[in-house]
Amino acid sequence: MTPIIIGIAGASASGKSLLSYTIFNELKAELGEDNIAIMNEDAYYKDQSHMEMEERIKTNYDHPNAFDHSLLVHHLDELLTGRSVQIPTYDYKIHTRTKQTILMEPRPVIIIEGILLLVNKTIRKRLNTSIYMDTALDICFIRRLKRDMEERDRTLESVIQQYKSTVRPMYLEFVEPSKQFADIIVPKGGKNRVAIDMIKARIKQLSPET
């Protein structure tokens, strides 16, 4: 059967990953591990290994041009036609891809999450259901600050500067307007139990053979 693809978008630190992995883990238990997979748009940040570190730091990572969306679309098409793909891995600490890739086999249900999924028309066409995390920006900023300092070796000053210079402006220019393309808008973050159950029911409706 042709896989169904569920896209989950929204601001950085809006709860996309929490929602995605909650749905993934619960459905994996219900449908079986071989019937569901998860992808992350961040894996498709462009390779910057040819650039010096100080140049990599200057990249606007919240602009669509920072992503290799053409490769992402190609991989989605390969999965839709039953072929496996090698997904890049991205290292936030060195601001580029590593040499390793991750083999991903086709699955009946594929969940993909990322900030700019709904901005790209070509990606939207491949989504069976699109979801937007509608989380207040102050909450997103606090979560991002904590995450980047604890997990990505960023300083307080660098996180604040990046948020002011690119994260918030790009959210207003690209991410927030893409909400209009969502089938489902989820408030209250990734622990919204009603939204989780509704999305799970939608996935089961779209994939009755799993």
What are the tens digits of pLDDT across the range 67-116? Answer: 999 999 999 999 999 999 999 999 998 999 999 999 999 999 999 999 99
**DSSP-assigned letter for residue 82:** T
* pLDDT value at residue 207: 79
- The predicted pLDDT at position 208 comes to 62
CATH architecture, domain defined by 4-206:
3-Layer(aba) Sandwich (3.40)
pLDDT in tens, 34-52: 999 999 999 999 999 999 9
**pLDDT given for residue 2 in this prediction:** 86
Shortest CA distance to 69 belongs to which of 31, 111, 118, 105? 118
> Is the CB of residue 131 less than 8 Å from the CB of residue 26?
no
Task: Name the burial class of residue 27, with classes exposed (0-12), middle (13-18) and buried (19+) by CB atoms within 10 angstroms of its CB.
Answer: buried
What's the CA gap between 188 and 119, in Å, rounded? 22
- Judge whether residue 210 has pLDDT over 60: no
- Please state, in angstroms and rounded to a whole number, the distance separating the CA atoms of residues 86 and 154: 29
| Mean predicted confidence (pLDDT) in 119-146 | 95
Structure tokens at 96: 């580029």
Q: Quick one: average pLDDT of 148-177?
A: 94
Q: How confident is the model at residue 209 (pLDDT cuts 50, 70, 90)?
A: low
pTM above 0.85, yes or no: yes
